[in-house]
Chains A and B, each alone.
Chain A
């Protein structure tokens, strides 16, 4: 594995015990400049990990706690009238940063969630009649809590599609929990040092481009995505999927597989790399049918079935 990545992982492990999948997904997001949606119950170090990552990278980071009364202008900024000079000035919002932590994103109504659409896709913000290009890297890491059903606003499909990956954060193992308990009680978590800078990150991103993807692997990826849209074509049950994955899914699967291969220290993408990331890339993009929901089928099960059915190159 690349030494810089190892350094970054080591630094993060000072603040976060366990949760390797989440850390790896965040690094994939950073390398590919893809936004990450993290779903998990409270207390699984979602916010801590994001904060540690921003410290380790020496990047600006801002956090927005999403609440039902949040306004789009709180995020992107607004034009403020100056009565002395009879002019308008622009007050920039929290989105002008490198790493944006959108905490509990599903607590804010659709108009606020939609305020992130432009910035997530174009990396550009329009306030009044002025558009601002955001400085690279720009990454949105949103968290949401799956338990509460009251007072939440489910993210619309268009918004979900802009997230490169959706990570499900699970509880730690007993050994990890023991370590967390001891360190947490003694407040002995070490402080995170900056080990990478913007230039290093850009270098790593350039290195990604050297990862080779074979034509057969590319075709395999397309087949996987097509299978979510036309399951019958691949002898799969078509009753469970209402809408399949979008073209953004193909792009993100391509980028994420390449990043995964890079993190595993390979210079080529193998089907296993796709297997490692496919659930995270597709689970929020497949819209299940009512029948599937009634039967309690999850999108992860559908993805597994697709991977099991389509022969690897």
Chain B
């Protein structure tokens, strides 16, 4: 009865509908009875029902040692008065039995005026959005987590690849090798990928983990880089990793086959370093190129500064912008017009002289006025 109810629940779309003051929300869980470390997709939909307010939401799961979770998608539609949010999470239960998923939901209410105010001002006058925070209590969602078959090390659909660079080496020489586990499921992290052997020294790095989660689950590529060394020939026993695939509900084994290594013994005396000051493998003259590059930069800077000085000295004296125009002017009216347009106050006397010449018919000649002006302009330079 429990089984049939459980499988029925697996197929059925379960949602929790609850009405709070301003919005409705519903949970969707694709599997309420997963195995340990089997991916469960949880979705939360929030729809604003009170359209008088402007609402924002903050949602997340509470951390727990009983499950691991990751947000894989968030859909935000509708603005201001018609907020719609859909949060999608991938959850991996980590223990068998009842596992309660706890949530944190925060509602932020504000008004159109507050939003307008927050957008007003400029980059030097940034205004924060004033909102009323309120924490919303959401009932926990319970998963009935099934235990894994005994001896299971990984959960998912994986394949194993391995690569040994050599099977022959000298005594104490490192033999590098790499094991890669790739596939879909809970990240295939193993504490010990090799069984411990006597007389072998194992060097290992932190595994390189590449995991990408989506609503379809988690794609993983985990690389274990290691090296072995020994003083005599040895064999690595076959390593079987038990895997359970919850989708097909089947067990299978990933195998790292037996490996035999031939080690060439060497005299212990040859391992001892006898030279106190060994000659460098190659001479390093990079300091010389550094020195020359700095020297060239210094000389270039010095010459530029000198050139600037020479340029200043050899610069021809600029003539007054009006000089040529004054020279070109043919009669008193033309010259008066030119002076009227440009800085009249500096040429008050000349303007008066020209006015007298044009309108009062004074005896001063245009030529003498022009020459006096040219001299005046030259002195201005």
Contact = CB atoms under 8 A, between A and B. Distances in A.
Contacts of B355: 270, 272
B122 to A, nearest CB: 9
Contacts of A308: 337-338, 341-342
Interface in A260-280: 270-272, 274-276, 278
Interface centre among A21, A305, A312 (most CB of B within 10 A): A312
A304 interface: yes
B54 interface: no
The listed residue with most A CB atoms (<10 A of its CB), out of B341, B345, B355, B359, is B341
Interface string A279-309: 0000000000000000000000001110110
A311 interface: yes
B345 A275 contact: no
A21 B333 contact: no
Contacts of B339: 275
B154 interface: no
A312 B359 contact: no
Interface in B317-359: 333, 336-342, 344-345, 351-352, 354-355, 359
Nearest to A279: B344
Contacts of A271: 336-337, 340
Contacts of B337: 271, 307-308, 310-312
Contacts of B359: 270
Interface in A228-280: 270-272, 274-276, 278
Given A311-B333, A312-B333, A274 B340 contact: yes
B344 A275 contact: yes
A31 B341 CA distance: 24
Given A270-B355, A270-B359, A272-B355, A312 B340 contact: yes
B124 to A, nearest CB: 8
Contact of B336 (A21, A304, A305, A312): A312
Nearest to A21: B345
Given A272-B351, A272-B355, A307 B333 contact: no
A155 B320 CA distance: 36
B375 to A, nearest CB: 21
A307 B351 contact: no
Taking chain B's interface residues, is the majority helix, strand, or loop, or is none over half, making it mixed? helix
Contacts of A312: 333, 336-337, 340
Contacts of A274: 340
Q: Which of B337, B338, B342, B345 has its CB near the most chain A CB atoms (within 10 A)?
A: B337
B98 to A, nearest CB: 63
Contacts of B354: 272
Interface string B192-205: 00000000000000
A278 B344 CA distance: 11
Nearest to B351: A272
Given A270-B359, A271-B336, A312-B333, A307 B341 contact: yes
A310 B337 CA distance: 8
Interface residues of A, number: 16
B340 A272 contact: yes
A237 B336 CA distance: 23
Contacts of B344: 272, 275-276
B336 A272 contact: yes
Nearest to A303: B341
Interface string A204-246: 0000000000000000000000000000000000000000000
Nearest to B122: A150
A304 B337 CA distance: 10
Nearest to A307: B341
B342 A304 contact: yes
B76 to A, nearest CB: 36
A312 B335 CA distance: 10
Most A-side CB within 10 Å, residue of B339, B340, B354: B340
A308 B341 CA distance: 6
Nearest to B338: A308
Contacts of A305: 341
Contacts of B340: 271-272, 274-276, 278, 307, 312
A272 B339 CA distance: 9
A240 to B, nearest CB: 16
A68 B251 CA distance: 79
Nearest to B343: A304
A312 B337 CA distance: 7
Contacts of B352: 272
A312 B352 CA distance: 15
Nearest to B345: A21
B341 A304 contact: yes
Contacts of B338: 308
Contacts of B333: 311-312
Interface in A14-71: 21
Contacts of A275: 339-341, 344, 351
Contacts of A307: 337, 340-341
B336 to A, nearest CB: 6
A276 to B, nearest CB: 5
A271 B340 CA distance: 8
Nearest to A275: B340
Nearest to A313: B333
Contacts of B342: 304, 308
Contacts of A272: 336, 340, 344, 351-352, 354-355
B334 to A, nearest CB: 8
A21 B344 CA distance: 11
A272 B352 CA distance: 8
A238 B336 CA distance: 25
15 contacts: A270-B359, A271-B337, A271-B340, A272-B340, A272-B344, A272-B354, A272-B355, A275-B351, A276-B340, A278-B340, A305-B341, A311-B337, A312-B333, A312-B336, A312-B340
Given A272-B355, A276-B340, 7 more contacts: A270-B359, A272-B344, A274-B340, A275-B340, A307-B337, A308-B338, A311-B337
Which 8 residue pairs are nearest across A and B when measured between Cβ atoms? A275-B340, A307-B341, A308-B341, A304-B341, A312-B337, A272-B351, A270-B355, A307-B340
Interface of B: 333, 336-342, 344-345, 351-352, 354-355, 359
